[in-house]
Amino acid sequence: MACHTVVEGRFRWPRLARLAPEDQQLVELLILSSGSLKAVAKRLGISYPTMRKRLDALIRALEREVKADERFRRQLVKEVAAGQRSVREAVKQLKAI
């Protein structure tokens, strides 16, 4: 049974939620393994060098999200300055990041 709930508005998901599902899983495994790449590699059945490559790709993906947030912040400031968005709404958006 579907509820047909709709969420509308201008908002941004948290950075980790914007990552691909496999990257989110990797973050979760890293946290649950206390950051041990060796333990995560073993759990995933991959070699340490492959695990390292996946971590490097995850870092690049997260860096892209950080840069996207910076662009979003700059855009908010421009919109407030142009009167296209209220200060209150912009502050609310910034706190969500």
- The residue extents of the domains of the chain are 15-96
Residues 62 and 94: their CA atoms lie apart, in Å, by: 18
**Three-state SS for 52?**
helix
User: pTM of the prediction?
Assistant: 0.76
**Three-state SS for 37?**
helix
Rg, the chain, Cα only: 18
CB–CB of 76/85 below 8 Å?
yes
Q: Which fold has domain 15-96?
A: Arc Repressor Mutant, subunit A (1.10.10)
- Both tokens of 16, joined, read 């980790």
Strand runs labelled E in 1-97: none
> What is the full per-residue pLDDT of the chain (97 aa) written as tens digits?
678 888 777 667 889 999 999 999 999 999 999 999 999 999 999 999 999 999 999 999 999 999 999 999 999 999 999 999 999 988 888 887 7
